[in-house]
C-alpha cells in the first residue's frame, strides 16, 4: 500500500533565471540547508550538484533541467520540496518550457546589479503562460553595483509583475551584512563562518528603523489594494498582525496578483534559508492549484482531475532522457491517482496499455528506487517507450493533457560520420537525442545525402555534437552552422487530389480536397477535419494529416520547412475495397504541395533580438557594427557608465559576432541574443536561395 503524504506540505517548484544570475548556486545552497547534500559545490569549479553533465561543468552553465527532492523543517511542520533547476541560456529555453509546464510554483533569481535581463523576460512569460505563481530573489547583493531598489523597479517596469518587497538589504556590495524582515520587523545578521547555517535574528536598531518602517508601510499599502480588511486597519491606523500579512501575501501570490521579493547573496551564504521559508509559506501545494484539465481522446469533451490519490490516474511525461546504464528514462508529473511500478497504464496516443517500469525519485544524476508515485509527485520511469507530452491514464476514464508547444529551430549544421559504422551509430544517436529534446531536429538532405541537424543556437548545436562524440561515441565532423530558413504561404488556396495507382500489386484509391490559409507569425500548424466519420473514417483522415505534416518538412520554393499555416479538410472519398492509409498519406503530401504553390509561397528568415551591454565609450562602434549587419536599433539605456543597446538583426548576419564585439570593445562588452520572429527575406537572399540552394550545403 502506498504511503499517504499530506499534499498540503509538498511544493513542486522551479528555479529560473537569466544566465549567470546565480540560479544553480542558489539551488546548491537550498540542497545544503535542507540536508540533501553535506558539502557545497560551486559552479566555477564544476562541482555543483545539479550541473552534473560534463558539458555543464566545463562551460559553467546549466544545459539540462535537473530534478531533486529535499525536506525542509519549520517550527511547526516538515515540507517536501521537489525542485527543478532550469537552464538560463536562451538556446535551452525548451528545457525551461517543459519544466514550468508541470511545476506549481517558481523562484525567479535576479542579479542585484543587472536586474531583469532578456532571458528573465522570457522565463517570466513562460511562467505566466502556465499561470505559475512566482517569488523573486534578488541575488548577488554583495556585487559591486548592487542596487536592490533598481532591481525591484525593473521587475515592475519590464515584467509588470507587481513586486512587493518583504525584505530590505542591510548594506550593499562589500558592506552587505544581512536583511530586514519587513513582516516581523526584525534584522537578520549572517555569520561568515559555518556556510551561513547560523544567523542572528534581533530587534531593529534605531539606525535601521526609519528605513524599515517606510519599507513596511509601502508593503502594507501595496497589499491593502487586494484586501479590504487590511485596508481598513491601515486607514484606521490599527496594529496589523504578522499572521494577517502572511495570509494576504499567500493569497495574492497564489492568484498571481503580486510577486514577493526577497534578497541575499547565495554565493556568500546569505538569505537562502529565508528564501526556503518563503517558498513553503507563499508558493502553492498541489492542492492550491486548480484541477488539471484535458480532453477526452474520443469525444473531445473537457475532462478534469483533482490532485488526489483516490482520483483516476493522470500522469504527464514531460521529459525524456537517455541514461547510459538504464536506457530511456522519462520524467513524469503525476496529477492524480497512483502511478505504480509493475502495473499498466493506457497511452491514448498509442491507443494501448503499457506496463509501468521501474520508478525512481531523482537527485541530479542519482536515483532512488520507489514503488509508487502519487498525486502531486514528480519522478521518473525507466524502460517505458514514451515521448514528451504523452498522457498516461486508465482506458475506461481517459484524458489527454495539452501538449507543450516548442519553438522552431533557427540554425542548421551538416554532420559527416567518419565511417559506415559511425553512420549507423549516428542515426541511432540522433533519434535518441530528438526524443530527449523537442527543440532539436535531424533530417537527411535530399540533394546531398548529408545529415542536417537543427537547433536553437550555435551553443545548442555545439553541445549536441559534443554529446554525440563523448556520450554516444560517434566519430563525426560538423560543418559550419547556417541559418534555418523557412517557407510560408501568403494567401488562401484550395487543392484537390485523387490518387489512383498500384502499389505492391494492389490498387490504391484516395480523394481529398483541402483549403490552406496563412496564420500569423508564430502560428505554427493547425489541421481541421470538417468531415464526419461516415464521410471519411478517422483512420484515413489521420493518415491524410500525417501526409500533410510530412510534406511540410520540404517546402515548394527551396526545400525549407513550411510554417504558420492552417489546413482544413473539406471533402474526401474512399472505397472500401481499395482505399488504404498509404493512399491517403500520398494524397496528403500531393495536396499540400499543390496548394502551397497556389497560395503564393514566400521565404522567411529568423530575426534575432539582441541586447549588448557595453561601456559608454564604445557605443558608437557597437551601433555602427549592428547597422552594418542590417540591424535595427530598438532602444538604448545608460546605467551608471554602462550602455545597454537593444536591437534586432537577421541571424544570417550575426555569425561570428562575439569575436567582432570583443575586438571592438577590447573585450569589455557582452551580449545576449535570442530568436524573436520570422520575417521575409530580402530580394537578393531570395534569389540566392531559390537559384543556388545547393551552395548552402
Residue 11 CA to residue 288 CA, distance in Å, equals 10
Does residue 315 sit in helix, strand or coil? strand
Residue 148 CA to residue 166 CA, distance in Å, equals 12
Residue 394 CA to residue 349 CA, distance in Å, equals 13
Residue 610 CA to residue 393 CA, distance in Å, equals 43
Transcribe 527-588 into DSSP letters.
EEE-S-TTTS-HHHHHHHHHHHHHHHTS-SSSSPPB-SEEEEEEEEE--TTT--HHHHHHHH
Written as nine digits, the cell of 339 is: 502511478
In this prediction, residue 4 carries a pLDDT of 47
Going by DSSP bridges, is the β-strand pair 134-139/302-305 parallel, antiparallel, or unpaired? unpaired
Contacts of 198 (CB under 8 A, 6+ apart): 191
In this prediction, residue 697 carries a pLDDT of 38
Question: Within 130-178, where are the H helices?
Answer: 148-159
Residue 365 CA to residue 53 CA, distance in Å, equals 9
Tell me: pLDDT of 326 over 70: no
Residue 167 CA to residue 265 CA, distance in Å, equals 13
234-268 per-position pLDDT tens digit: 888 888 899 999 999 999 999 999 999 999 999 99
pTM of the model: 0.74
Give the DSSP H or E segment for 242: helix 242-254
Burial of 165 (0-12, 13-18, 19+ CB in 10 A): buried
Does residue 65 sit in helix, strand or coil? coil
Average pLDDT over residues 324-336: 83
Nearest 5°: the CA angle 250, 225, 259 is 40
Question: Which of these, 243, 245, 200, 213, lies nearest to 226 by C-alpha position?
Answer: 245
Q: Mean pLDDT of all residues in the chain?
A: 87
27-84 per-position pLDDT tens digit: 888 988 998 877 666 655 555 555 445 654 554 555 566 788 889 988 778 999 998 8
In this prediction, residue 694 carries a pLDDT of 41
Q: Write the DSSP symbol of residue 114.
A: T
- Whether the CB-CB separation of 181 and 203 falls below 8 Å is answered with no
Residue 244 CA to residue 164 CA, distance in Å, equals 16
pLDDT band at 2 (very low <50, low <70, confident <90, very high): very low
458-489 per-position pLDDT tens digit: 888 888 898 899 888 999 988 888 888 999 99
Nearest 5°: the CA angle 237, 243, 247 is 100
99-127 per-position pLDDT tens digit: 888 899 999 999 999 888 877 888 888 88
Give the DSSP H or E segment for 516: strand 506-518
Residue 360 CA to residue 369 CA, distance in Å, equals 4
In this prediction, residue 510 carries a pLDDT of 96
Question: Which of these, 144, 139, 210, lies nearest to 175 by C-alpha position?
Answer: 144
Residue 280 CA to residue 670 CA, distance in Å, equals 37
Going by DSSP bridges, is the β-strand pair 327-336/314-323 parallel, antiparallel, or unpaired? antiparallel
Tell me: pLDDT of 133 over 80: yes
In this prediction, residue 587 carries a pLDDT of 96
In this prediction, residue 445 carries a pLDDT of 74
Radius of gyration of the chain (CA): 27
Does residue 275 sit in helix, strand or coil? helix
Half-sphere exposure of 431 (CA within 13 A, CB side): 7
Angle between helices 118-129 and 148-159 (to 10 degrees): 50
Nearest 5°: the CA angle 550, 554, 559 is 175
Question: Which of these, 426, 424, 445, 422, lies nearest to 434 by C-alpha position?
Answer: 426
pLDDT band at 668 (very low <50, low <70, confident <90, very high): confident
The per-residue b/e assignment along 356-365, b for 16 or more CB within 10 angstroms, e otherwise, is bbbbbbbbbe
Strand partners, 327: 323
In this prediction, residue 212 carries a pLDDT of 94
- Whether the CB-CB separation of 464 and 453 falls below 8 Å is answered with yes
User: Which backbone phi and psi does 467 adopt, to 5 degrees?
Assistant: -65, -40
> Looking only at Cα atoms, what is the longest distance across the chain?
95
Residue 532 CA to residue 542 CA, distance in Å, equals 13
**Cβ neighbour number for residue 131 with a 10 Å cutoff:** 12
606-652 per-position pLDDT tens digit: 998 898 888 899 999 999 999 999 999 999 988 767 888 999 999 98
pLDDT band at 690 (very low <50, low <70, confident <90, very high): confident
Question: Which of these, 392, 418, 387, 390, lies nearest to 402 by C-alpha position?
Answer: 390
Q: Which of 229-243, 277-291, 495-509 has the highest mean pLDDT?
A: 277-291
404-462 per-position pLDDT tens digit: 777 778 888 889 898 888 888 999 899 888 888 888 989 887 666 778 898 888 888 88
pLDDT cut 70: percent of the chain above it: 92
Residue whose entry in the numeric block shows the C-alpha cell 501538449:
403
In this prediction, residue 655 carries a pLDDT of 85
What Å distances lie between residue 434 and 134, 340, 406, CA to CA? 31, 27, 13
Q: Helices (H) and strands (E) in the chain — how many of each?
A: 16, 38
**Cβ neighbour number for residue 201 with a 10 Å cutoff:** 12
Give the DSSP H or E segment for 412: strand 411-417
Tell me: pLDDT of 184 over 90: yes
Residue whose entry in the numeric block shows the C-alpha cell 522570457:
122
Does residue 215 sit in helix, strand or coil? helix
Dihedral sign (CA 605, 447, 434, 569) = positive
Give the DSSP H or E segment for 253: helix 242-254
What Å distances lie between residue 476 and 324, 464, 472, CA to CA? 20, 12, 11
Written as nine digits, the cell of 628 is: 552594418
Residue 192 CA to residue 189 CA, distance in Å, equals 10
Least confident piece of the model among 210-214, 230-234, 362-366, 465-469: 362-366
Strand partners, 583: none
Half-sphere exposure of 428 (CA within 13 A, CB side): 12
Residue whose entry in the numeric block shows the C-alpha cell 543556388:
692
pLDDT band at 289 (very low <50, low <70, confident <90, very high): very high
Question: Within 382-457, where are the H helices?
Answer: 420-436
Residue 178 CA to residue 272 CA, distance in Å, equals 11
Amino acid at each position: 500500500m502506498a504511503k499517504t503524504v499530506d499534499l498540503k506540505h509538498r511544493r513542486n517548484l522551479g528555479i529560473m533565471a537569466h544566465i549567470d544570475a546565480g540560479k544553480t548556486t542558489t539551488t546548491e545552497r537550498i540542497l545544503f540547508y535542507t540536508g540533501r547534500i553535506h558539502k557545497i559545490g560551486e559552479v566555477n569549479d564544476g562541482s555543483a550538484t545539479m550541473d552534473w553533465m560534463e558539458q555543464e561543468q566545463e562551460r559553467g552553465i546549466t544545459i539540462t533541467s535537473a530534478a531533486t527532492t529535499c525536506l525542509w523543517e519549520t517550527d511547526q511542520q516538515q515540507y517536501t520540496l521537489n525542485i527543478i533547476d532550469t537552464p538560463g541560456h536562451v538556446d535551452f529555453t525548451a528545457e525551461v518550457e517543459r519544466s514550468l509546464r508541470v511545476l506549481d510554483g517558481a523562484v525567479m533569481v535576479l542579479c542585484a546589479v543587472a536586474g531583469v535581463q532578456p532571458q528573465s523576460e522570457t522565463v517570466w512569460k513562460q511562467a505566466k503562460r502556465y499561470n505559475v505563481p512566482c517569488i523573486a530573489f534578488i541575488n548577488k547583493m554583495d556585487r559591486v553595483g548592487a542596487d536592490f531598489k533598481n532591481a525591484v523597479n525593473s521587475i515592475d517596469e519590464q515584467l509588470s509583475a507587481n513586486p512587493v518587497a518583504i525584505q530590505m538589504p542591510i548594506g550593499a556590495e562589500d558592506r552587505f551584512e544581512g536583511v530586514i524582515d519587513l513582516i516581523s520587523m526584525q534584522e537578520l545578521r549572517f555569520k561568515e563562518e559555518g556556510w551561513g547555517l547560523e544567523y542572528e535574528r534581533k530587534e531593529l536598531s534605531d539606525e535601521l528603523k526609519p528605513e524599515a518602517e517606510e519599507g513596511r508601510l509601502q508593503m502594507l499599502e501595496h497589499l491593502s489594494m487586494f484586501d479590504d480588511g487590511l485596508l481598513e486597519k491601515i486607514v484606521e491606523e490599527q496594529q496589523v498582525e504578522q499572521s494577517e500579512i502572511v495570509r494576504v501575501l499567500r493569497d495574492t501570490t497564489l492568484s498571481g496578483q503580486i510577486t514577493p521579493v526577497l534578497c541575499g547573496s547565495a554565493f556568500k551564504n546569505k538569505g537562502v534559508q529565508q528564501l526556503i521559508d518563503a517558498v513553503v509559506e507563499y508558493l502553492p501545494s498541489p492542492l492550491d492549484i486548480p484541477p488539471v484539465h484535458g480532453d477526452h481522446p474520443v469525444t473531445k469533451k473537457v475532462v478534469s482531475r483533482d490532485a488526489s490519490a483516490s482520483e483516476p490516474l493522470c500522469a504527464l511525461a514531460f521529459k525524456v532522457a537517455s541514461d547510459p546504464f538504464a536506457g530511456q528514462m522519462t520524467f513524469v508529473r503525476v496529477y492524480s491517482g497512483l502511478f505504480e511500478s509493475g502495473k499498466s497504464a493506457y497511452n491514448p496516443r498509442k491507443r494501448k496499455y503499457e506496463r509501468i517500469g521501474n520508478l525512481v525519485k531523482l537527485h541530479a544524476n542519482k536515483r532512488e528506487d520507489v514503488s509508487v508515485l502519487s498525486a502531486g509527485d514528480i519522478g521518473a520511469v525507466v524502460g517505458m517507450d514514451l515521448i514528451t507530452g504523452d498522457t498516461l491514464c486508465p482506458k475506461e476514464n481517459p484524458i489527454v493533457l495539452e501538449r507543450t508547444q516548442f519553438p522552431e529551430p533557427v540554425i542548421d549544421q551538416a554532420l559527416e560520420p567518419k565511417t559506415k559504422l559511425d553512420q549507423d551509430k549516428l542515426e541511432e544517436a540522433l533519434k535518441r537525442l530528438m526524443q530527449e529534446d523537442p527543440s532539436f531536429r535531424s533530417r537527411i538532405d535530399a540533394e546531398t545525402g548529408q545529415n542536417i541537424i537543427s537547433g536553437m543556437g550555435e551553443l545548442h548545436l555545439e553541445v549536441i555534437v559534443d554529446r554525440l562524440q563523448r556520450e554516444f561515441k560517434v566519430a563525426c565532423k560538423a560543418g559550419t552552422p547556417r541559418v534555418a530558413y523557412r517557407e510560408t504561404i501568403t494567401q488562401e488556396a484550395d487543392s484537390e487530389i485523387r490518387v489512383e495507382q498500384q502499389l505492391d500489386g494492389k490498387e490504391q484509391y484516395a480523394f481529398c480536397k483541402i483549403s490552406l490559409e496563412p496564420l500569423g507569425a508564430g502560428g505554427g500548424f493547425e489541421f481541421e477535419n470538417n468531415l464526419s466519420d461516415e464521410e471519411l473514417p478517422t483512420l484515413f483522415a489521420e493518415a491524410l494529416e500525417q501526409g500533410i505534416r510530412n510534406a511540410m518538412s520540404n517546402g515548394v520554393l527551396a526545400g525549407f520547412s513550411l510554417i504558420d499555416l492552417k489546413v482544413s479538410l473539406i471533402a474526401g472519398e474512399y472505397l472500401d475495397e481499395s482505399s488504404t492509409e498509404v493512399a491517403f498519406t500520398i494524397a496528403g503530401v500531393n495536396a499540400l504541395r499543390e496548394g502551397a504553390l497556389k497560395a503564393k509561397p514566400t521565404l522567411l528568415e529568423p530575426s534575432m533580438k539582441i541586447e549588448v551591454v557595453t561601456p559608454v565609450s564604445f557605443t558608437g562602434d557597437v551601433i555602427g557594427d549592428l547597422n552594418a549587419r542590417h540591424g535595427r536599433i530598438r532602444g538604448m539605456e545608460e546605467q551608471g557608465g554602462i550602455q545597454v543597446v537593444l536591437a534586432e538583426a537577421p541571424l544570417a548576419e550575426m555569425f561570428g559576432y562575439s569575436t567582432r564585439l570583443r575586438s571592438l570593445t577590447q573585450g569589455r562588452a557582452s551580449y545576449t541574443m535570442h530568436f524573436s520572429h520570422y520575417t521575409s527575406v530580402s530580394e537578393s537572399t531570395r534569389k540566392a536561395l531559390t537559384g543556388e540552394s545547393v551552395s548552402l550545403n
